[in-house]
Amino acid sequence: GIQVEQSPPDLILQEGANSTLRCNFSDSVNNLQWFHQNPWGQLINLFYIPSGTKQNGRLSATTVATERYSLLYISSSQTTDSGVYFCAVEYNTNAGKSTFGDGTTLTVKP
Amino acid sequence: DADVTQTPRNRITKTGKRIMLECSQTKGHDRMYWYRQDPGLGLRLIYYSFDVKDINKGEISDGYSVSRQAQAKFSLSLESAIPNQTALYFCATSDFTQGELFFGEGSRLTVL
Protein backbone atom coordinates (compact mmCIF):
# COMPACT_ATOMS: atom_id res chain seq x y z
CA GLY A 1 0.00 0.00 0.00
CA ILE A 2 0.89 3.65 0.10
CA GLN A 3 3.80 4.24 2.47
CA VAL A 4 5.88 7.17 3.58
CA GLU A 5 8.77 6.32 5.86
CA GLN A 6 10.79 8.91 7.72
CA SER A 7 14.10 8.42 9.48
CA PRO A 8 15.41 8.74 12.05
CA PRO A 9 12.32 8.84 14.29
CA ASP A 10 14.19 10.89 16.90
CA LEU A 11 17.27 13.07 16.71
CA ILE A 12 19.06 14.99 19.45
CA LEU A 13 21.67 17.59 18.52
CA GLN A 14 23.81 20.21 20.14
CA GLU A 15 23.22 23.73 18.92
CA GLY A 16 25.37 24.44 15.88
CA ALA A 17 25.40 20.85 14.57
CA ASN A 18 24.16 19.81 11.15
CA SER A 19 21.58 17.13 10.43
CA THR A 20 19.96 15.20 7.60
CA LEU A 21 16.40 13.88 7.73
CA ARG A 22 15.20 11.33 5.22
CA CYS A 23 11.83 10.55 3.62
CA ASN A 24 11.35 7.37 1.58
CA PHE A 25 8.29 6.85 -0.54
CA SER A 26 7.00 3.79 -2.32
CA ASP A 27 5.70 5.01 -5.69
CA SER A 28 5.80 7.85 -8.21
CA VAL A 29 4.77 11.20 -6.76
CA ASN A 30 3.05 14.35 -7.98
CA ASN A 31 4.02 16.43 -4.99
CA LEU A 32 6.21 16.27 -1.91
CA GLN A 33 6.27 18.72 0.96
CA TRP A 34 8.31 19.15 4.12
CA PHE A 35 6.68 20.69 7.21
CA HIS A 36 7.93 21.73 10.63
CA GLN A 37 5.50 21.32 13.52
CA ASN A 38 6.55 23.66 16.29
CA PRO A 39 6.02 22.96 20.00
CA TRP A 40 2.68 24.81 19.84
CA GLY A 41 1.42 22.39 17.22
CA GLN A 42 1.48 24.72 14.24
CA LEU A 43 2.46 23.24 10.88
CA ILE A 44 4.87 25.43 8.98
CA ASN A 45 5.53 24.90 5.28
CA LEU A 46 9.23 24.44 4.64
CA PHE A 47 9.52 23.16 1.09
CA TYR A 48 7.30 22.15 -1.78
CA ILE A 49 9.72 19.92 -3.67
CA PRO A 50 8.45 17.13 -5.97
CA SER A 51 11.92 17.01 -7.53
CA GLY A 52 15.24 18.81 -7.49
CA THR A 53 16.90 20.90 -4.82
CA LYS A 54 15.79 24.03 -2.97
CA GLN A 55 17.39 26.13 -0.29
CA ASN A 56 15.98 28.56 2.23
CA GLY A 57 18.53 29.99 4.63
CA ARG A 58 19.98 27.23 6.81
CA LEU A 59 17.56 24.67 5.41
CA SER A 60 17.73 22.88 2.11
CA ALA A 61 15.93 19.92 0.57
CA THR A 62 16.57 17.50 -2.24
CA THR A 63 14.11 15.09 -3.82
CA VAL A 64 15.35 12.30 -6.10
CA ALA A 65 12.05 11.13 -7.53
CA THR A 66 13.54 8.30 -9.59
CA GLU A 67 15.04 6.76 -6.44
CA ARG A 68 12.01 7.58 -4.30
CA TYR A 69 13.50 9.61 -1.51
CA SER A 70 13.82 13.15 -0.24
CA LEU A 71 16.32 14.66 2.18
CA LEU A 72 15.99 17.69 4.43
CA TYR A 73 19.25 19.30 5.55
CA ILE A 74 19.46 21.55 8.57
CA SER A 75 22.76 23.35 9.04
CA SER A 76 24.01 25.20 12.12
CA SER A 77 20.98 24.06 14.09
CA GLN A 78 19.33 26.36 16.62
CA THR A 79 17.08 25.59 19.57
CA THR A 80 14.17 27.06 17.62
CA ASP A 81 14.61 24.25 15.06
CA SER A 82 13.26 21.80 17.66
CA GLY A 83 9.97 20.14 16.86
CA VAL A 84 8.67 17.48 14.52
CA TYR A 85 9.49 17.42 10.82
CA PHE A 86 6.97 15.79 8.50
CA CYS A 87 7.20 14.68 4.94
CA ALA A 88 3.91 14.58 2.98
CA VAL A 89 3.61 12.87 -0.38
CA GLU A 90 0.94 13.02 -3.06
CA TYR A 91 1.19 9.89 -5.14
CA ASN A 92 0.29 9.80 -8.85
CA THR A 93 -2.21 7.04 -8.07
CA ASN A 94 -3.83 9.06 -5.27
CA ALA A 95 -4.05 12.47 -6.88
CA GLY A 96 -5.12 15.37 -4.71
CA LYS A 97 -4.50 13.59 -1.41
CA SER A 98 -1.30 13.69 0.59
CA THR A 99 -0.01 10.90 2.81
CA PHE A 100 2.11 11.87 5.80
CA GLY A 101 5.02 10.07 7.35
CA ASP A 102 5.16 9.68 11.12
CA GLY A 103 7.75 12.43 11.42
CA THR A 104 11.22 12.98 12.86
CA THR A 105 11.32 14.57 16.30
CA LEU A 106 14.29 16.92 16.52
CA THR A 107 15.59 18.25 19.81
CA VAL A 108 18.32 20.88 19.67
CA LYS A 109 20.07 21.43 23.00
CA PRO A 110 21.75 24.73 23.90
CA ASP B 1 -5.13 37.36 9.79
CA ALA B 2 -4.46 33.73 8.98
CA ASP B 3 -5.28 32.49 5.49
CA VAL B 4 -6.83 29.32 6.94
CA THR B 5 -8.81 29.83 10.14
CA GLN B 6 -10.13 27.10 12.41
CA THR B 7 -12.64 27.46 15.22
CA PRO B 8 -12.66 26.57 18.02
CA ARG B 9 -8.95 26.26 18.76
CA ASN B 10 -9.58 24.21 21.88
CA ARG B 11 -12.65 22.30 22.98
CA ILE B 12 -13.40 19.94 25.85
CA THR B 13 -16.60 17.95 25.59
CA LYS B 14 -18.28 14.84 26.94
CA THR B 15 -18.95 11.46 25.39
CA GLY B 16 -22.08 11.48 23.24
CA LYS B 17 -22.11 15.22 22.51
CA ARG B 18 -22.27 16.60 18.98
CA ILE B 19 -19.31 18.74 18.03
CA MET B 20 -18.63 20.89 14.98
CA LEU B 21 -15.23 22.20 13.95
CA GLU B 22 -15.25 24.98 11.40
CA CYS B 23 -12.72 26.03 8.81
CA SER B 24 -12.67 29.07 6.57
CA GLN B 25 -10.05 30.19 4.07
CA THR B 26 -9.17 33.33 2.16
CA LYS B 27 -6.70 31.73 -0.24
CA GLY B 28 -9.30 31.18 -2.96
CA HIS B 29 -8.43 27.49 -3.18
CA ASP B 30 -10.89 24.92 -4.49
CA ARG B 31 -9.67 22.00 -2.42
CA MET B 32 -10.17 21.64 1.32
CA TYR B 33 -9.22 18.85 3.72
CA TRP B 34 -9.68 17.68 7.28
CA TYR B 35 -6.83 15.78 8.92
CA ARG B 36 -6.47 14.24 12.34
CA GLN B 37 -3.22 13.96 14.33
CA ASP B 38 -2.70 11.61 17.26
CA PRO B 39 0.34 11.86 19.55
CA GLY B 40 3.52 10.53 17.98
CA LEU B 41 1.90 10.01 14.60
CA GLY B 42 1.58 11.82 11.33
CA LEU B 43 -1.61 13.35 10.00
CA ARG B 44 -4.36 11.10 8.66
CA LEU B 45 -6.99 12.22 6.19
CA ILE B 46 -10.61 12.23 7.39
CA TYR B 47 -12.48 13.90 4.51
CA TYR B 48 -11.63 16.01 1.51
CA SER B 49 -13.51 18.20 -0.95
CA PHE B 50 -12.29 19.21 -4.39
CA ASP B 51 -15.12 21.70 -4.87
CA VAL B 52 -18.45 22.62 -3.28
CA LYS B 53 -20.29 19.67 -4.84
CA ASP B 54 -17.51 17.12 -4.42
CA ILE B 55 -16.95 15.51 -1.00
CA ASN B 56 -15.01 12.33 -0.42
CA LYS B 57 -14.09 10.06 2.45
CA GLY B 58 -10.51 9.76 3.52
CA GLU B 59 -8.83 6.88 5.31
CA ILE B 60 -10.50 7.41 8.72
CA SER B 61 -13.99 8.84 8.03
CA ASP B 62 -16.01 6.60 10.38
CA GLY B 63 -17.68 8.66 13.12
CA TYR B 64 -17.27 11.94 11.21
CA SER B 65 -19.28 13.94 8.69
CA VAL B 66 -18.53 17.14 6.77
CA SER B 67 -20.28 19.97 5.05
CA ARG B 68 -18.88 22.27 2.35
CA GLN B 69 -21.07 25.33 2.80
CA ALA B 70 -19.19 27.46 0.28
CA GLN B 71 -15.88 27.45 -1.53
CA ALA B 72 -14.30 29.08 1.49
CA LYS B 73 -15.95 27.04 4.26
CA PHE B 74 -15.61 23.40 5.24
CA SER B 75 -16.87 22.07 8.56
CA LEU B 76 -16.26 18.77 10.33
CA SER B 77 -18.84 17.22 12.65
CA LEU B 78 -18.65 14.51 15.24
CA GLU B 79 -22.25 13.37 15.64
CA SER B 80 -21.66 11.55 18.93
CA ALA B 81 -18.17 12.14 20.25
CA ILE B 82 -16.22 9.32 21.88
CA PRO B 83 -12.95 9.46 23.87
CA ASN B 84 -10.80 7.96 21.12
CA GLN B 85 -11.67 10.98 18.96
CA THR B 86 -9.53 13.05 21.28
CA ALA B 87 -6.92 14.48 18.92
CA LEU B 88 -5.56 17.53 17.16
CA TYR B 89 -7.59 18.33 14.04
CA PHE B 90 -6.25 20.29 11.10
CA CYS B 91 -7.96 21.90 8.15
CA ALA B 92 -5.95 22.41 4.98
CA THR B 93 -6.42 23.89 1.53
CA SER B 94 -4.70 23.49 -1.82
CA ASP B 95 -5.01 24.74 -5.36
CA PHE B 96 -5.82 22.08 -7.95
CA THR B 97 -3.10 23.27 -10.33
CA GLN B 98 -0.23 22.80 -7.89
CA GLY B 99 -1.26 20.82 -4.84
CA GLU B 100 0.78 22.53 -2.13
CA LEU B 101 -1.04 22.18 1.19
CA PHE B 102 -1.64 25.12 3.55
CA PHE B 103 -2.79 24.37 7.08
CA GLY B 104 -4.82 26.10 9.72
CA GLU B 105 -3.50 26.36 13.27
CA GLY B 106 -5.34 23.27 14.46
CA SER B 107 -8.23 22.51 16.79
CA ARG B 108 -7.44 20.53 19.91
CA LEU B 109 -10.42 18.38 20.90
CA THR B 110 -10.69 16.46 24.16
CA VAL B 111 -13.58 14.04 24.67
CA LEU B 112 -14.11 12.98 28.28
Which residues pair with residue B14 across a beta bridge? none
Q: Which 46-85 residues of chain B touch chain A by CB within 8 A?
A: 48, 50, 58
Summarised one tens digit per residue, pLDDT across range A32-45 is 999 999 989 999 99
Nearest CA to B22 out of B8, B11, B10 is that of B8
Can you tell me the mean pLDDT for B60-69? Answer: 96
Can you tell me the mean pLDDT for B91-102? Answer: 90
Alpha-carbon Rg of chain A, whole angstroms? 13
- What confidence score (pLDDT) does residue B97 get? 82
Instruction: Provide, as residue numbers in chain B, all residues whose Cβ is less than 8 Å from the Cβ of A41.
Output: 88, 105-106, 108
Helix or strand run (H / E) with residue B39: none
Residue of chain B minimizing CA distance to A94: B58
| Candidate from A41, A42, A48 with C-beta closest to B100 | A48
The answer to whether the CB of B47 falls within 8 A of the CB of B61 is yes
Is B42 in contact with A102 (Cβ distance < 8 A)?
Answer: yes
pLDDT of B23 above 90 = yes
The answer to whether the CB of A109 falls within 8 A of the CB of A14 is yes
pLDDT band at B93 (very low <50, low <70, confident <90, very high): very high
The answer to whether the CB of B4 falls within 8 A of the CB of B103 is yes
pLDDT of A94 above 80 = no
| Candidate from A30, A88, A96 with C-beta closest to B31 | A96
Can you tell me the mean pLDDT for A87-105? Answer: 88
Instruction: Provide, as residue numbers in chain B, all residues whose Cβ is less than 8 Å from the Cβ of A83.
Output: none
pLDDT band at A56 (very low <50, low <70, confident <90, very high): very high
Would you call A43 an interface residue with chain B, using a CB distance cutoff of 8 Å? Answer: yes
Nearest CA to B83 out of B3, B10, B13 is that of B13
pLDDT of A51 above 90 = yes
Would you call B10 an interface residue with chain A, using a CB distance cutoff of 8 Å? Answer: no
pLDDT band at B1 (very low <50, low <70, confident <90, very high): low
- What confidence score (pLDDT) does residue A28 get? 87
- What confidence score (pLDDT) does residue A63 get? 97
Strands (E), chain B: 4-7, 10-13, 19-25, 31-37, 43-51, 54-57, 65-70, 73-78, 87-94, 102-103, 107-111
Can you tell me the mean pLDDT for B66-77? Answer: 97
Would you call A1 an interface residue with chain B, using a CB distance cutoff of 8 Å? Answer: no
Nearest CA to A95 out of A40, A13, A28, A49 is that of A28
**What DSSP state is assigned to residue A66?**
G
* Alpha carbon separation from A52 to A58, A65, A94, B94 (Å, rounded): 17, 8, 22, 21
- What confidence score (pLDDT) does residue A29 get? 87
Interface test with B, best of A6, A24, A31, A43 (most B CBs within 10 A): A43
- What confidence score (pLDDT) does residue A30 get? 87
